[in-house]
Structure formats: C-alpha cells, structure tokens
C-alpha cells in the first residue's frame, strides 16, 4: 500500500518512460467520423456550416435504426419532429441566428424525465400511454439551447434497479455483450450513447443510476452536486425524506460534452425548492498540481476483481504523473454505505411504493421491480423510532464523509467492484454487496464523474469514479478529463 499523503510524480516518470504504465483502453480516437462525433464537435461543425443539422439528425436516426433492434435502448422515437426541428435549425443558421450552444445537436432523454407530446412511462404499465403536457426543466433547457430530441430511452420500472427491463418495453442489452445488462436505471441511455446513436444523454442518478451504466458501457458521466440541477418533471417526483439522493445527470462519450451541457441544465427553476444558485466553475481552469486526491480500491465489504483494482491503480498513477498529490485512504464508513442507503427505504416495507403504483394505474409489477422491492425494502421496520434512526445514521454518515474530505479535493474509487454482469443477476447476493461504492455519493450528494480507463478479460469496459467536494464539479471533470486523455475513454462496441 502507498503511504499516506505522498506525491508519486517523480517515481512515476520512470514508469511512464519505460512504458510500464499501459494505455489499457486505446481504441479509436474520439470523434473520428460519422455518428461517433462528440456533441462539442457536432455543435462546432453545425455552427460553421461544415455539417447541417438535418444531416446530423438523419445520421443519428440511421444509426439508431441499425443498432436499436439488438439493443432495445430507444423506446419512443421522435424522428419526424427531430427532422422538422433540424430543418428549422438550419433555416435559423441561414439567417445568422444561433439558438444556443447545442444548436442542431441531437440528444436522447431517459424515460423518467417528462417530454411534452411524447409518451413518458417511467417503465410502469400504468403510464404506458401517458403523454406529458410539459417538458421536465432540464429537457426544456436543452431544447432552449438548441438541442434536438431524438427519442426516449428505456429504464427499469420506476427507475428501481441496476439493470433495465420492464413490462412496457422489455429488456435493454449492453452493446459490448448482448447477453449482459447495460445497467440501470439509465441503461437505455447508456446503451444508445455507447452505440453512437446519440452523442449526449440526459438521465438521473439516485443510487448509481448514471454512473453504473456509464461504467458498464464505457462512457463519461456526471452526477452533479445535489441541489445543482432541478428535478422538476422527473417521474416519480423526488419528494420526502430521501429527496436529496436524486440527481438529474448527464452521460456522453466525451468529458467535454458533460462540461458543455452542465451549465445549460443547472440553476434554480423556482419549482424545485432544493436548488441552490451557486456559480459553476470552469474545469479547464483547474490546476491539477494543486489537487489532493484520496483513493481506495476496496470498500471493506465487496472486494473488487483484479482488473477493477488494477484500473483504479493505473488511474491513480496517471493522475500522479500529471502532478496530483495522491494518497491511498479509504473513508472510515465506506463499508456501511449500502446498508445506510437501503435502511432508509425499509420503513414501511415498500407499502408506500405499492400504493403509489396503484395510484398511477399499475396493477401488475414487473418481476425485476418486485425483486427490487423484496430485496431492498423488506422487511418493514418495527417502529417509527427505528425508521427515523435510519435517517439519523444518514446524517452521521454525511458528517463523517465531509470531515474525511477536509484533507482532500477529490476521492477516486471503483464505480462497482465488477464489470457488467449477465442479465437477471444484479440481485445476486454477492453483486448486491458492491452497490455501496456508487451509493456513497448519493448519500453525500457530492458531484461524481466517471470515465472508462480499462477493459476486462471478456472485453467489457471498466470505469472509475471521481467525487469532489460539494459544488466542485469542475474538479471532478478536470480529473476524469485527464484520465480520458491518458487512457482514451470510450471505444466503439463491435455491433
């Protein structure tokens, strides 16, 4: 183990010179050609006239048509509207008008975020034909910035599992291995972005729901600080004692795309009272040589695979070489994260969730969500006092984590201790033990970003996550951008 608070930059210069620090995820260059181009590159090409918005939208619709039959990622396609909006975007440019930084850029939206005029099911049968009258705030802000929505992407029922399957649309497959899950609950979003059917996706994260799919599908993702992005228009609407664990989040093939989109969706909307009007800082202005990074590869409950542990250490070595001060240190309560998270859902043994489903017309629950309720919300706690004590433990955990972070600017770890599992196995006992790696940052509310840094022996993507202090998305993005530069980030699946 590495000694506390050491700067390994000098030692690693020799390692890099000998080639012992491998580029374990080389892949093709990001934004090479076609629909693999990033949102940043597409926006620039459209504004300059090198590519039309209509051409760009058609290219991505063609890609969706080619890959979606094998993935089942896009569940509502808004092709006609997207083409019409693309033509309007091109006409605006011809008049010298630019709608915003995403002018003409196609995007996809997770099916738990409402979209005016397009069915939003949340993966549950009671809303199979529900058409919202208004966009979720984050969706409306993307459109106002010029983005063109291609369609909605699949989720588990009520976004309640780490794999994506429901009775409305069925199962979504991982583009790197169709026999495996792309994760959940933003699994459809991750699958289509990884398959180059969309350059940028809007999702949510209440327990790893953007970071786990990004890890399974080799993508960059960002869960902003709790209180940064309004959840207005999210279904189910985040309310009550667990409100703070829910985050509207971003997923893409490039870290720069996350940095581009975050200022667009952030800030108060005067409908979500939790949102704080704090300035966003520029990730390009972060001086890596001034950052202090703690890291761990094992949370003390669920040991990682050898490849995950290696990916963490390669990432740390690369950051140390870039000038970051790195320290191997695990937060004292890391192993408790999963228990604390799920204890807060067990107060009524899921009676409230079942009543809510009936209130929206769902009489039949998907087997996956039933399994989720049985494993995560049962048995009910014996008293109100016991239920309230669970939330007291959450507060104590947040205080302990903040005290830990006093000495560091960021914390690096696995997203999960394993690569994408096979369909139907996410509730296996050994796999369930590993979810605390992701859930700890829903408990803290800290901004957390992911990026691909490696590949498993089966050819599956491996990611790491970097969490920063509250409101310091710039630090998290700067660190994962450095890892993306070093290891190559997203690599196209063989579809």
Annotated catalytic residues are 110, 185, 209
For residue 309 the two structure tokens come to 């542990």
Assess whether the previous peptide bond of 185 is cis (omega < 30° from 0): yes
DSSP string for residues in 210-257: THHHHHHHT-EEEEPPTTSS--TTBSSPP-STTGGG-EEEEEESSHHH
Distance between CA atoms of residues 198 and 134, nearest Å: 23
Q: Which residues contact residue 166 at a Cβ distance below 8 angstroms, ignoring those fewer than 6 apart?
A: 121, 123, 124, 154, 155, 156, 157, 366, 368, 369
DSSP string for residues in 430-459: HHHGGGHHHHHHHHH---EEEEEEEE-TTS
For residue 282 the two structure tokens come to 């520029």
| Helix H or strand E segment including 410 | strand 410-414
Distance between CA atoms of residues 269 and 68, nearest Å: 34
DSSP class of 303: P
Distance between CA atoms of residues 81 and 84, nearest Å: 5
Distance between CA atoms of residues 106 and 375, nearest Å: 38
**Where in 210-341 does DSSP place strands (E)?**
220-223, 247-252, 292-295, 325-328
Distance between CA atoms of residues 395 and 388, nearest Å: 11
CA 218 to chain centre: 11
Distance between CA atoms of residues 220 and 464, nearest Å: 10
Given a contact cutoff of 8 angstroms between Cβ atoms, the answer to whether 165 and 123 are in contact is no
Q: What is the dihedral of CA 352, 355, 356, 359, to 10 degrees?
A: -160
Distance between CA atoms of residues 120 and 235, nearest Å: 9
Residue 339 phi/psi, 5-degree rounding, is -65, -45
Q: Which residues contact residue 400 at a Cβ distance below 8 angstroms, ignoring those fewer than 6 apart?
A: 331, 332, 333
């Amino acid at each position: 183990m590495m000694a506390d608070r050491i700067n390994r930059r000098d030692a690693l210069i020799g390692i890099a010179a000998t080639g012992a620090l491998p580029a374990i995820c080389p892949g093709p260059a990001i934004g090479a050609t076609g629909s693999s181009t990033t949102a940043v590159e597409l926006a620039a090409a459209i504004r300059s006239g090198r590519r039309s918005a209509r051409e760009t939208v058609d290219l991505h619709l063609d890609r969706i048509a080619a890959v979606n039959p094998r993935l089942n990622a896009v569940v509502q396609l808004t092709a006609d509207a997207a083409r019409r909006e693309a033509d309007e975007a091109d006409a605006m440019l011809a008049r010298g008008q630019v709608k915003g930084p995403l002018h003409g850029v196609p995007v996809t939206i997770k099916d738990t975020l409402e979209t005016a005029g397009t069915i939003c099911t949340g993966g549950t049968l009671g809303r199979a034909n529900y058409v919202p009258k208004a966009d979720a705030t984050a969706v409306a802000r993307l459109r106002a910035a010029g983005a063109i929505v291609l369609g909605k992407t699949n989720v588990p029922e009520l976004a309640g599992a780490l794999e994506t399957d429901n009775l409305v649309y069925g199962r979504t497959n991982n583009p790197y291995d169709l026999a495996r899950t792309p994760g959940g609950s933003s699994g459809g979003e991750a699958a289509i972005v990884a398959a180059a059917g969309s350059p940028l996706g809007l999702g949510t994260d209440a327990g790893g729901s953007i970071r786990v799919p990004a890890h399974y599908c080799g993508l960059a993702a960002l869960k902003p600080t709790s209180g940064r992005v309004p959840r207005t228009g999210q279904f189910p609407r985040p309310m009550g004692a667990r409100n703070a664990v829910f985050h509207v989040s971003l997923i893409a093939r490039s870290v720069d795309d996350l940095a581009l989109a975050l200022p667009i969706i952030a800030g108060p909307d005067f409908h979500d009272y939790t949102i704080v009007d704090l300035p966003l800082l520029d990730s390009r202005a972060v001086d890596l040589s001034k950052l202090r990074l703690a890291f761990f590869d094992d949370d003390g409950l669920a040991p990682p695979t050898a490849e995950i542990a290696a990916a963490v250490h390669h990432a740390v070595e690369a950051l140390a070489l870039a000038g970051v001060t790195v320290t191997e240190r695990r937060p004292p309560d890391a192993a408790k994260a999963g228990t604390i998270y799920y204890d807060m859902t067990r107060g009524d043994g899921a009676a409230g969730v079942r009543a809510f489903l009936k209130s929206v017309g769902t009489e039949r629950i998907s087997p996956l969500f039933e399994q989720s309720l049985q494993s995560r919300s049962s048995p009910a706690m014996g008293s109100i006092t016991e239920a309230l004590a669970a939330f007291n433990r959450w507060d104590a955990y947040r205080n302990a984590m903040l005290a830990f972070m006093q000495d560091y600017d960021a914390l690096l770890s696995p997203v999960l201790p394993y690569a994408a599992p096979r369909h139907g196995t996410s509730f296996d006992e050994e796999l369930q033990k590993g979810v605390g790696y992701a859930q700890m940052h829903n408990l803290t509310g800290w901004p957390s970003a992911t990026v691909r840094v490696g590949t498993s022996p089966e050819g599956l993507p491996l990611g790491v996550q970097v969490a920063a202090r509250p409101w310091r998305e710039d630090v998290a993005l700067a660190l994962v951008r450095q890892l993306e530069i070093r290891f190559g980030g997203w690599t196209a699946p063989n579809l």
